[in-house]
Amino acid sequence: MLGLYDYRADRNASLGYLERLYGDEGVVGSRHVVEDGASRMPEDVSYRVIVGPHMTGVDRFTPLIAADFLRYFLFPRRQVESGSARWILCYGCDVKALGPRFRVLSDGGNGILFGHIDT
């Protein structure tokens, strides 16, 4: 039994800061996009996670897991289901449906985008 804990300790010790922070890349789909979102969004705003059919190269459960992860990772920002949130994390969503004022700020290249709806 102790060997199991020793293995986990060795594995955790071998991870870098980003791996410890995010876990597996599959959790968020694109570290780059999530880091951009965290650094660009003010802490007092609301944001939406929109999931659509245009995902490539990630597991179909990634957007669902990511939404839960982001709820805590991006805190104190508030994740809302719908409404007037101008900050968007898009997981394969239809960008055209967001309107002409939607501006992509970060693109993971796999259908994961971070952007803002300009006023």
pLDDT tens digit string along 56-77?
Answer: 777 777 777 888 889 988 999 9
The whole-angstrom separation of Cα 31 and Cα 34 is: 5
pLDDT of residue 4 exceeding 60, the answer is no
105 close to 40: Cβ distance less than 8 angstroms? yes
Closest by Cα among 59, 52, 36 to 97: 52
What are residue 90's DSSP bridge partners? 50, 113
Residue 21 banded pLDDT, cuts 50, 70, 90:
low
Strand, coil or helix: 74: coil
Give percent of the chain above pLDDT 90: 44
Task: Give the pLDDT of residue 113.
Answer: 94
Strand, coil or helix: 111: coil
Backbone angles phi, psi at 58, to 5 degrees: -135, 160
Task: Give the pLDDT of residue 47.
Answer: 97
